[in-house]
Structure 1
Amino acid sequence: MSFLIQNRRWLSVGVLLAFGSSFGQTWFISLFAGEIRAEYGLSDGDWGLLYTLATLCSAALLLGRGSWADTVPFSRLAPLVAAVFAAAALAMAFGQSVWVLGVAVFLLRFCGQGMFSHIGATAMGRWFVATRGRAVAIKGLGYPLGEMILPFLFVALIGWIGWRETWGSQPPSSR
């Protein structure tokens, strides 16, 4: 228990990065799949192809840019990735073309599922030496926390205000 208390600041950052990666995880994006397919007139196959291409491209970019976690200071990299992540959420909210949707999904996958997870693991490895395994394990608690909390919240939000509004646009009555 003293480990948690003494290192709560650093461990909290790791848990928050893992939790924040939820917004780029497949299970989260799939909460919106039905509404996205309907709005853009996509078949299941079209949506699957777009999602697969966005995911493969984000994975390829992560292979090339994952080293940023080793070379760019955390205090600059994490806010930068968070800003691009927020832009991707806004693209989901306001985008009107399939191309914008593809870019949004690509950025959500790269920043969330990819970089947030990678930065969190790298930060734990850098900040902790003798207790690295314990710190990485505690950071990992952010993943099930997101899986436990966010589906209920976001399915309710989608039903209440709509899928685009859940990503950040204004409700239909105030547009």
Structure 2
Amino acid sequence: MGVSPFFAGRVYDASRDKNTMTYLQFIYRHPKRLGLGFGLTLFGSFGQTYFISLFGKEFRMAFDLSVAGFGTVYSLATLLSGFSVLYFGALIDRFSLPVYLTGVISAFALATLGLGLLPLRSVIFLFVVIYLLRLCGQGLMTHASSTTMARDFTKDRGKAISFASMGHAAGEAVFPVLAVAMMLAHCVVGCGADAAFDAAFVTVAGP
């Protein structure tokens, strides 16, 4: 397997360097390649359990599901996505990296857009959305990241994969906080708007 056609140039061979590079030097020399690997694991966070679980209550309320019911749907979707990685993950060997990532990210985007259609109240639709989130986010984006790092680097592939994997930690530290902050902001704005409407109504319709 050669270097991904997404990048120009040859596969980086660390054996050419007389001295081992530090991480900062390594990143400075290969920002695009390492940035891709890091970005894939970072944004794959939206398909991780720790992020999806933030909206578990909303899912249960929208579909009138119990905790056990939603857990069953989520577990089955996760199990099926795990088996699906065996097939879809192998496609990265048959297609160029741009084509493969276009397909994965497009499916992931459709799944996130599908969250806006959840009021359709179809449990099957919920299952499909969670399946795609788990498959593309947790599964294929992480898989594409590690595969690309292993292909594009030789002696320092361990260093490259380690750096790319830091996207998981970054996503876990940042995205849940941002999501909760946005939900709180939405609540504050919504409550403020309701209070303003009530005050205006009382003023106009008052005695």
TM-score by length of 1: 0.89
Q: For 2:100 and 2:140, locate their aligned partners in 1 and report how far apart those are by CA, in whole Å.
A: 10
> 2:49 aligns to what?
26
Please give the alpha-carbon distance, in whole angstroms, between the structure 2 residues aligned to 1:105 and 1:68.
21
Question: Which of 160, 165, 170 in structure 2 is aligned with 1:145?
Answer: 170
User: Is the 1:54–1:106 Cα contact (8 Å) retained in structure 2?
Assistant: yes
State percent identity of aligned pairs: 36
Gaps of 5+ in 1: 163-175
Map 1:5-154; keep pairs closer than 5 Å. Answer: 5-95=28-118, 96=120, 97-154=122-179
TM-score by length of 2: 0.76
- SS of the counterpart of 1:140? helix
Q: Is the 8 A contact 1:128 1:135 kept in 2?
A: yes
Q: Distance in 1 between matches of 2:41 and 2:78?
A: 18
Give the alignment's Cα RMSD to 1 decimal: 1.1
Structure 2 gap segments, 5+ residues each: 1-23, 188-207
Structure 1 distance, partners of 2:68, 2:78, is 15
What do the CA deviations read for 1:46-98 (whole angstroms, capped 9, x no partner)? 00000001001101111122101222111111121101000000111213121
How many residue pairs get aligned? The number is 162
Aligned-residue offset at 1:160: 3.4
* Cα 1:56/1:17, change in 2 over 3 Å: same
Question: Is the alpha carbon distance of 1:6 and 1:124 closer, same or farther for their aligned partners in structure 2, counting shifts above 3 Å?
Answer: same
Partner of 1:155: 180
Cα distance change on mapping 1:80 and 1:117 into 2, 3 Å? same
Runs of 4+ in 1 over 6 A off after TM superposition: none
Larger Rg over CA atoms: 2
